[in-house]
Amino acid sequence: MTAMSEQGSEPAKVRSTRGVFAAENPSTTPARSLADHVTDIYAAIQAAPDGIPLTQAQSMLPELLSRKATDATLAKIRAQPWVISTTERRPNRAGRLQPQVILRAATAPDPA
């Protein structure tokens, strides 16, 4: 049985619930690998001239990782030769200075 429109002669368009777009159903979108997330962190470090806090890098990793896997991944990133890890006093949300670990990209030496 089809629904009829108010004009009566043509069938009304009824939205089907069987077809769901991928954007509406996140379970059908492809899962990103850990390497994709690490690549995003590397890009963020290189793009930020003042560096990024370690907590920001940690927030870019998937939440489903265990604490041990998150710590190991961040340790590997900090061990890269082109990443400089320093501790600086930066303001927190309340505006008070507190020590934070900052990740920066090492500048390549000039070939001249």
What is the Cα–Cα distance from 66 to 5, expressed in whole angstroms?
54
Cα 83 to chain centroid, rounded: 19
Edge-to-edge strand ranges of the sheet holding 52-53: 52-53, 97-105, 83-91
- In this prediction, residue 29 carries a pLDDT of 47
What is the Cα–Cα distance from 65 to 58, expressed in whole angstroms?
11
Q: What is the pTM of this model?
A: 0.62
What is the Cα–Cα distance from 20 to 32, expressed in whole angstroms?
21
- With beta carbons less than 8 A apart as the criterion, state whether 100 and 54 touch: yes
The letter for the amino acid at 17 is T
- In this prediction, residue 25 carries a pLDDT of 46
3-state secondary structure of 2: coil
The dotted CATH code for 31-92+100-105 is: 1.10.10
Residue 80: pLDDT band (50, 70, 90) is confident
Q: Where are the domains of the chain?
A: 31-92+100-105
- In this prediction, residue 23 carries a pLDDT of 46
Top-ranked range on mean pLDDT: pick from 24-33, 39-48, 66-75, 97-106 = 97-106
Q: What is the pLDDT of residues 8-50, one digit of tens each?
A: 555 555 444 444 444 444 444 456 777 888 888 888 888 888 8
When pLDDT is averaged across residues 89-102 and rounded to a whole number, the result is 92
Residue 97: pLDDT band (50, 70, 90) is very high
**Scanning the structure block, which residue is given the tokens 């600086």?**
88
What is the Cα–Cα distance from 27 to 43, expressed in whole angstroms?
27
